[in-house]
Structure 1
Amino acid sequence: MDVEGARGRSRIRYAVVALALSAGIAAAPAAGVACADPSAGDSVSGATSQTGSAATHDTGSHNATSEPAATEATDDAPRNEPEPEVSDPDTPDTETETETETETETEAADQPRPQRPSRHADTGQPARPERDKPLFPRWRAAIDQARAEERTQATPPARRLTLVRTEQAAPSATEPAAVATVEVSTVAVTPPQPQPLSPLGKLLQLPGRLVNTVLQVFDITRSSQGPTAPIKIAPPINDLLFAAFREVEKWIGLDRTPPPQPPFPSLTYTGPTTAKTPTVAQFLNASASAYGLGTTPEGLVPFTVNGFQMASANIISGMAARAWVTPDNQVIIAYQGTTGGTNLLFNPFIAVAQILTDLQVIYTQTTPWAFTDALRFAERVQAAAAEQGYAPEDIFVTGHSLGGWEAQYVAQQIGLAGVGFESPGMSSTVPGNGADSMFVNVETYGDPAPFMASDLPGLQPFMPPYVPGGGIKPHYGHIVMIGDPAAMTPLLNAVTLWRTGPLRNFVFFMDFLGNFFQYHLPGIQAYHLGVVPDPGVVPWLGTARGPVNAGWGDLTIPELLLAATDSGTLHRTVVAA
């Protein structure tokens, strides 16, 4: 009996201990609610913790008067609540979020502590007030929308996003418990200064610079930085040859009054002139530098990526280009013209591909490989420039001759602004064909290259029929004519010999080539635009005579359009509807 009694008493004691342990286990999580963090440690969960904390304080304030007994029962529970954060972690790169949160307590500090939210019976998670559920999703959605809009902006790297969130406790239970606002503002960020060339990048450019220094001694190239030729033999020889050529034209009778030409519609520019672009001189010098091995346009620096200048040269397609940065942090993509100039010393085979490209554009309606190569290079420069903080409107294209053709095509395809020099018309067209664009073709009277088009009269029937502002081979963008219109007289007479016999065809081609070398090279455009060429590649080749548009080299693109309007030399590329 004593043994059985002891066993019974032992069972009772075990039951009491078990009940006590069960009660302790059941009560332990309730005491730990205050220090539980329902979120992870990233920026999203940080915001969740803030809203949850604010919700707990507000709920307690409202429950303090309705359930005092419950409040006293939990008042002894340990409190280890984290302080609410005031801001989310910084977003990468150009986006910055700032968050301010203000909480208004409705109870005095000496009143009983509020009751903790009870647990859901099914999930065991802390119950949140109904008002808190839509608050965080609305705020997060506003941020995501703002960021999505920022990513779709044309200039995401050049802007900074600021988000401000304000939360305030409700004054009573009958009014909305919180107010969440999101303010979005964009602040322009100045693009970074051009990145310098790395030591290896400078070393790779050294051979070309050394060769160019030697070429300057022999007056093949010129630059404001470098040696000057001690004896200039070429200019007098050049002048003598072209003087003799003009005498031959007179002897043949090509100086007579030419046949009348169809009207060449003019254009009046009425747009704004405040848009900031590189100057005409910067475009011309950048396009001329594409012909020079180791040359640098005056005032411009290489556009670099990882310490190397962005450049491209394809021997098979014939496309070659380099990117430069102006003092105003604008990027100019300069495409190389036919033969490559002094670059032939290092890359002679590219000239063959470039000449074939010229023939393809002139005699077919197809788009050559070089044009698509030029477009891909421009897109690569755009992407690299965007990563460095340049806006899309700060990317421009230029080129001379074949380079101007490629610049036209790139402007036509992706809408870049720029200036092309002495480029013919193209086979590809788009609606409007650049009538509202900021791309300008600067063309010289007497040079047959720009007249190899259907929207400039003068070389028909050698070229397709002339259509004012159009045809099957028009220019893209506006046309600004420079030079002396009388310089076209020999060509207008020579083209009448076309298809009238082999000998006369030969005379036409010889006069075509003579006028091409007389008026085509960048030095002639520099003369008529009032620009001191820097660099100059064979600057003495050609005939610099006729009117000079003084000061045009300092004009931006819209200023050039206005100046050409005032002088009557701006012409439309598309006939008005």
Structure 2
Amino acid sequence: MEEVDLRESRRRIRSLTYGVAAVTIAAVVAAVPVQGTAWADSPTVESTSSTTVDAAPAAPDAATDADTGEQAQPDVGAEEPAESEVDTEGPADPGDPEEPAAPEPEDTEDVEEPGAVPGEAEGGGDPRPVQPDETEVVAVEPFSDDSDAEPDAEFSREAVTTGPAERTGAAVATLTPAAQLLTIEVPDTEAPALVPAPVITTTTIEAPPSAPKPLSPLAKLLQLPGRLINAFLQVFDLTSSASTPRSPLSLGPINDLLFAAFREFERLLGLDQPPAVQPAVPALTYDGPTTATTPTVAQFLNASAAGYVLGGAPADLVPFTVNGFQMSSTNIFSGMVAKTWVTPEGQIIIAYQGTTGGSNLLFNPLITVSQVLADLQVIFTRTTPWAFHDALYFAKRVQIRAAEQGYSSENIFVTGHSLGGWEAQYVAQQIGLAGIGFEAPGINTRVPGNGADAMFVNVGTYGSAAPYMSTDLPGLQPFMPPYVPGGGSKPHYGPIVMIGDPAAITPLRNASALWGKSLIGSVIFLVDFLGNFFQYHLPGVQAHHLDVVPDPGMVPWMGRPSGPVHTGWGALSIQGLMKAASDAGQLFRP
């Protein structure tokens, strides 16, 4: 019995001790105002708790510590509150004793009833401070330099209003500490005026190309045999040069006699009669500028003629050299031969050699086979011969080497006669180089417009078969594919300038009508084709009509020009030639 009384006495003493401690803590809390903190539900926890946590000092018998938000553990046998009526448990206070707490009455739970005034305990006691109805408690976030930082878990980002409309709910009011203000002192001075940066104007001055370098002694030595042979041929009037006197051994009279007999042959066959009405060729009118600096017509023609003269050089032009040698190319398998020259104005001319190569046959006769095969391939097929691709490759190499010496592509031009004019025409079509081609047929590669506005011009002679081996000039049908104004399957590339006498093509047109009708008719056409070819096709005939002094000249006595001399055309630029031909009605659309 005494043991039971002793236990009861200890229990009462312990309860009294706890009560005194609770009263003492409550008095201290009431004396020192502190900010209350409520534990809000975590955003990730779906809680429906409607409990309002009191921020005022708790009553002595309250089960919640106002400082830590910790709820005291109920005694054994006490009723557990419902889950929807309690807040999330806060952190445990390590200073609390581990002994079981005294039993609390069930009616001491701090739950507000609807309509109750916040801060007032149900069982009476000291009322808590009551905020006015209009007061709005706003959670202010502390100042932070990092706008992307995560919010502090202690503070709520939402403002909580404790007006009448919200008192019926269970909103959790969060009192936050005063926000830290960042004060920046701005000096009372005017901002400096913005001074615009100076505008720097850069002017690019294109350096002129370097002067042509002379041939090396070795290169001159290698050219010596050709020069000696050319001097020997000049004695027999097979070649000529403006810098040397003309040979008295001229074969001109024999040439005139032969072609006179040929004209009589055509008359006897009735080939000189007016042919059937031919379709009109579309004319071009050039009214563009004529001030561009290009090589002259004479320089183009003489550079083309030099391809036929072994050891010959065009007047006023010097070789374009690389490492002391003239830049040139000879491909015996494709038949392409080309040399490069520089004008006194500092412009490069790539000159492609025509069929047979003239006196070059003495040193390289086999290349004639490849050149004739290239001619036949263009005429009788719709393919492009190897020689054309080789010519294009060489032109690209010249562009690279010329750029190394300061030449731009605008100062690189192409030219050629017959097969050489074909190759120059193809190169101009493919990479846009300007130039003049003489006596070139049409090509198998076509582009929209056929270069009607290009700076490459085709010069053809009335009566010569070469320019009419195309589909944009009527005259050799049905030997050639059908004529199509401004096009067809084998058109020229670039405007066409026709020189000489328009009536000179009459016998050839009549002879072409006999092609394929009979064996005799086909033979008559081939004979007339060759006769007119040698009379009107060679460079000396074009030099006559264009008022150009041939330098050099190859068989200068061969051929028999027919028609007017266009005085002054030899000194014209490319644009000047188009303008003059347009005014004379001799410029046609390809």
Structure 2 match to 1:296:
313
Higher Cα radius of gyration: 2
1:201-350 superposed matches below 5 A: 201-226=219-244, 228-232=246-250, 234-350=251-367
Q: 1:518 to 1:177 in 2, by over 3 A?
A: closer
Gaps of 5+ in 1: 1-171
Match for 1:544: what amino acid?
P
Q: Which residue of 460, 466, 473 corresponds with 1:449?
A: 466
SS of residue matched to 2:272:
coil
Structure 1 match to 2:112:
none
For residues 230 and 570 of structure 1, the distance between their equivalents in structure 2, rounded to whole angstroms, comes to: 39
Conserved? CA contact 1:245–1:514, under 8 Å: yes
For residues 357 and 404 of structure 2, the distance between their equivalents in structure 1, rounded to whole angstroms, comes to: 30
SS of residue matched to 1:390:
coil
SS of residue matched to 1:497:
coil
Q: 478-487 vs 178-187, which deviates more?
A: 178-187
Q: CA deviation at 1:192?
A: 1.7
Q: How many residues matched?
A: 402
Conserved? CA contact 1:217–1:227, under 8 Å: no
SS of residue matched to 2:329:
strand
Q: CA deviation at 1:206?
A: 1.1
1:24-39 superposed matches below 5 A: none
1:482-501 superposed matches below 5 A: 482-501=499-518
For residues 321 and 346 of structure 1, the distance between their equivalents in structure 2, rounded to whole angstroms, comes to: 16
**Alignment pair present for 1:518 and 2:535:** yes
Q: CA deviation at 1:175?
A: 6.4
Conserved? CA contact 2:242–2:550, under 8 Å: no
Structure 2 match to 1:362:
379
1:39-118 superposed matches below 5 A: none
Conserved? CA contact 2:242–2:549, under 8 Å: no
**Alignment pair present for 1:371 and 2:353:** no
For residues 500 and 321 of structure 2, the distance between their equivalents in structure 1, rounded to whole angstroms, comes to: 36
Conserved? CA contact 2:439–2:461, under 8 Å: yes
Conserved? CA contact 1:446–1:491, under 8 Å: yes
Conserved? CA contact 2:504–2:562, under 8 Å: no
Q: CA deviation at 1:226?
A: 3.4
- Listed one character per residue, the Cα deviations across residues 150-185 of structure 1 (whole Å, up to 9, x for unaligned) are xxxxxxxxxxxxxxxxxxxxxx99567995765321
- Listed one character per residue, the Cα deviations across residues 494-524 of structure 1 (whole Å, up to 9, x for unaligned) are 0111111111100110000100001000000
Moved over 6 A (4+): 175-178
For residues 291 and 346 of structure 1, the distance between their equivalents in structure 2, rounded to whole angstroms, comes to: 12
Q: Which residue of 531, 536, 545 corresponds with 1:528?
A: 545
Structure 1 match to 2:72:
none
Structure 2 match to 1:382:
399
Conserved? CA contact 1:404–1:421, under 8 Å: yes
- Listed one character per residue, the Cα deviations across residues 352-395 of structure 1 (whole Å, up to 9, x for unaligned) are 00000000000011110000000011111111111111121110
**Alignment pair present for 1:431 and 2:448:** yes
Q: 331-340 vs 424-433, which deviates more?
A: 424-433
Match for 2:286: what amino acid?
Y
Structure 1 match to 2:150:
none
Structure 2 match to 1:124:
none
Q: Which residue of 544, 554, 563 corresponds with 1:546?
A: 563
Q: CA deviation at 1:257?
A: 1.2
For residues 544 and 495 of structure 1, the distance between their equivalents in structure 2, rounded to whole angstroms, comes to: 22
Q: CA deviation at 1:572?
A: 1.0
**Alignment pair present for 1:188 and 2:209:** no
**Alignment pair present for 1:567 and 2:564:** no
Match for 2:586: what amino acid?
T
Conserved? CA contact 1:213–1:227, under 8 Å: no
Q: CA deviation at 1:205?
A: 1.1
SS of residue matched to 2:459:
strand
Conserved? CA contact 1:238–1:542, under 8 Å: yes
Q: CA deviation at 1:225?
A: 2.3
1:119-198 superposed matches below 5 A: 179=197, 182-198=200-216
Structure 1 match to 2:218:
200
- What's the Cα RMSD here? 1.6
Match for 1:396: what amino acid?
F
For residues 281 and 245 of structure 2, the distance between their equivalents in structure 1, rounded to whole angstroms, comes to: 45
- Listed one character per residue, the Cα deviations across residues 320-368 of structure 1 (whole Å, up to 9, x for unaligned) are 0100001100000000000011011111110000000000000011110
Q: 1:178 to 1:570 in 2, by over 3 A?
A: closer
- Listed one character per residue, the Cα deviations across residues 276-326 of structure 1 (whole Å, up to 9, x for unaligned) are 100000000000001110000011110111111011010000000100001
Conserved? CA contact 1:213–1:226, under 8 Å: no
Q: 328-337 vs 251-260, which deviates more?
A: 251-260
SS of residue matched to 1:472:
coil
Conserved? CA contact 2:413–2:434, under 8 Å: yes
For residues 201 and 271 of structure 2, the distance between their equivalents in structure 1, rounded to whole angstroms, comes to: 73
Q: 543-552 vs 463-472, which deviates more?
A: 543-552
**Alignment pair present for 1:537 and 2:557:** no
- Listed one character per residue, the Cα deviations across residues 433-477 of structure 1 (whole Å, up to 9, x for unaligned) are 212210000000000111000000111111011011100000000
SS of residue matched to 2:205:
strand
Structure 2 match to 1:83:
none
TM-score by length of structure 1 reads: 0.68
Structure 2 match to 1:412:
429
Q: 1:557 to 1:178 in 2, by over 3 A?
A: closer
For residues 512 and 450 of structure 2, the distance between their equivalents in structure 1, rounded to whole angstroms, comes to: 28
TM-score by length of structure 2 reads: 0.67
Structure 1 match to 2:158:
none
Q: Which residue of 459, 480, 484 corresponds with 2:497?
A: 480
Structure 2 match to 1:113:
none
Gaps of 5+ in 2: 1-189
Structure 1 match to 2:8:
none
Conserved? CA contact 1:367–1:427, under 8 Å: yes
Match for 2:263: what amino acid?
R
Conserved? CA contact 2:508–2:529, under 8 Å: yes
Q: CA deviation at 1:218?
A: 1.0
Conserved? CA contact 1:216–1:227, under 8 Å: no
